[in-house]
Chain A
């Protein structure tokens, strides 16, 4: 088995299946990055996509021992490393 590292190995947090976790690769917005760092969540940290509000927005994340709600359009600006390695 071989881990493939390609430019496509990052996905937006919103495309993660519910309940699954991933490691934050980067933020597309500096303000969002500051806002989450204020809660102790930054690049390299593990986040889990928890729940969605009944209308699909906002969504909640679990990270750093707490739950954080953010709007969907902001969640799409958080890029995480593809959680599974692809078999060669």
Chain B
């Protein structure tokens, strides 16, 4: 049979494979810089980074950074992606050459992974990264020994010191022979099963078929009938498969240990010693928690104080743009859509970028230095009784900036139930979009007074954050009890040696997170903004027409510019009241009356679905004010103050008392603390946890917010 060689013109595909802490991504960054294409692997949300790089001889290869993997028997979604790329020849990323990146100080582990890659029949290169951390005099000898023992090129590299990278690129366009001697051979008793699998897959690699026999669950395209058939052929019970996997890995581990012994690559003990000393401080029973608390405070300081400067600038910029465009463009619905739909929606996204940048800067920094795993180590026992994992701490923290990236961060939690519980409670953390709402409502009923030298309003604000956090513990505990979870999930976490952060990695992470937020969540926020613009600009045609003709007549009769402004304002108020959004507000009024809300609050709740802070601008329109967000400086304070005055003056026609009494305002605050009012969060929850879980989250948050508001209103009205 003639097997045609790959067409020369096709771009050679090179995949980077390595354990999570082996420095694989750093090597990828060093090889490609910012020329990376970031996307997702088809069908999953695992990030795919690739780049086309040009080599010295002017040929090019396509380099793909596969997700970190400890072995080719996948336990996480990330590892499943890596396995599928390597196992499935039809996968678009299936490589022609695999670069296995190993940490030179943990050579044995790297060899176990490399041996699996070799047994799959790939031409491969082994990179010994962090070579600066092993004693230099042994490197040359060890490289040669390894090369001879493995039968593939071995390249010592130090990404940190930028050494050896050129040597690696020289190998990328060479034809490399796959290694000949397999590390693990198929036992004779399994032959018939392996042959059947080789036909079914199809493949000519024994080891690939062996993996399919042992771990059929991770071969999605393998029919169940074949799985059952081959298990019978091999005479193995399903429960013995895991045992066979552990045996295979043990054989590889033992062989790798022998090789490590022979090559005698000695780690200089520098990182280990420093790490022990630092761990005594960072995981100390007092200092450990104190340092973590200090870091938390620093992160909050950055999100809530430092980030306000760029955020105010963005707000002002958008307002300026709206005004500038408004004066240039002809009046009409298209301009209105552009300015108040699209541009306002865009502003609503971009304004959160500074907070996202700060949050991810710190998280990337803590990850890079190795400190993050110490936080997990400190917090696991404390978080566990609530059904969390120690790894839930970081996403929960992130929830105070924005739920969307935080829900994505839960991927690092290996236990599925712990991850699901964490995803379910993240929306309870008070995110930054709630700040403008809290600020307005607190100012409505709490006078600016001092207590212990601090603004009393600040205590209310802090109270709302604590309320959200405490509720997340309660809900997590309830979920854990309902799911009958015993908090006994397997938890095995590497605590890598401390190291100085590589700023290039931090920068690239921050840049990629910010762009993925703007493009991902941004699409939804923008879409909802446009829908809301339609809902609040249009109503039943006859009613809207009536308003237009009524006000047109009134305005034409008036000469005084001031009263014309007044009429215009009254007109937009009437328009909003008769719009679809207004109709919805009135329609839901009976449902929200027990919470102390009227139809105006109803409209604001509906419009908040794009982003919670829209509450403030809707209120401004309803109370006949200019949007306080779009005016800067003194004017903003003035308009906010007059909005407050008008809201305070609003009288309930039925009771004759103010609408915004203590009871209603408190109830509204509680409602905003708990309600699921963010379409983007729902979308990302669905992506990460599926439809059913999203529905559960939506239902429980709705019941919780309604119930808690009702109780608050009832108690406060007594």
Contact = CB atoms under 8 A, between A and B. Distances in A.
Nearest to A68: B494
A53 interface: yes
Nearest to B252: A37
B122 to A, nearest CB: 20
Contact of B491 (A66, A67, A74): A74
A64 B108 contact: yes
A12 interface: no
Contacts of A43: 250
Contact of B496 (A36, A44, A66): A66
Contacts of A40: 106, 108-109, 112, 253, 256
Interface stretch (B33-41, B281-289, B579-587, B707-715): B281-289
Contact of B246 (A33, A39, A57, A66): A33
A17 interface: no
B465 interface: no
B381 A65 contact: no
Interface string A45-88: 10000110111111010101111111101100000000000000
Contact of A53 (B108, B276, B380): B380
A8 interface: no
Interface string B381-404: 110000000100000000000000
B105 interface: yes
Interface string B90-124: 00000000000000011011001000000000000
A45 to B, nearest CB: 7
B227 interface: no
Interface stretch (B370-378, B420-428, B508-516): B370-378
A22 interface: no
Contacts, number: 120
A4 interface: no
A54 B496 contact: no
Nearest to A30: B242
Contact of B249 (A37, A54, A62): A37
A64 B109 contact: yes
Contacts of A51: 279-280, 283
Contacts of B250: 33, 37, 42-43
A57 B389 CA distance: 12
B373 A69 contact: yes
B493 interface: yes
A18 to B, nearest CB: 12
Given A31-B490, A51-B279, A56-B381, A65 B495 contact: no
Contact of B495 (A34, A38, A60, A73): A60
A66 B253 contact: no
B695 interface: no
Given A34-B245, A34-B246, A40-B108, A69 B493 contact: yes
A86 to B, nearest CB: 28
B112 A58 contact: no
B2 interface: no
B261 interface: no
Contact of A67 (B105, B109, B275): B275
A37 B242 CA distance: 13
Given A53-B377, A54-B288, A71-B380, A66 B495 contact: yes
Nearest to A34: B246
B73 interface: yes
A23 interface: no
B70 A54 contact: no
A30 B390 CA distance: 23
B381 A69 contact: no
A38 B380 contact: no
B312 interface: no
Contacts of B550: none
Contacts of B246: 30, 33-34, 37
A11 interface: no
A71 B488 CA distance: 9
A25 interface: no
A65 B105 contact: yes
B105 A53 contact: no
B243 interface: yes
Contacts of B283: 51, 53-54
A57 B253 contact: no
Given A34-B242, A67-B275, A74 B492 contact: yes
Interface of A: 30-45, 50-51, 53-58, 60, 62, 64-71, 73-74
16 contacts: A31-B490, A35-B75, A39-B109, A39-B492, A40-B106, A40-B256, A42-B249, A45-B253, A51-B279, A54-B289, A60-B495, A64-B108, A64-B109, A69-B376, A70-B493, A74-B491
What 6 pairs across the A-B complex have the smallest Cβ distances?
A40-B109, A54-B285, A38-B70, A37-B249, A67-B495, A55-B381
Interface of B: 70-71, 73, 75, 105-106, 108-109, 112, 242-243, 245-246, 249-250, 253-254, 256-257, 267, 272, 275-276, 279-280, 283-285, 288-289, 373, 376-378, 380-382, 390, 488, 490-497
Given A34-B246, A36-B492, A38-B492, 6 more contacts: A33-B246, A38-B71, A40-B108, A43-B250, A66-B497, A73-B488
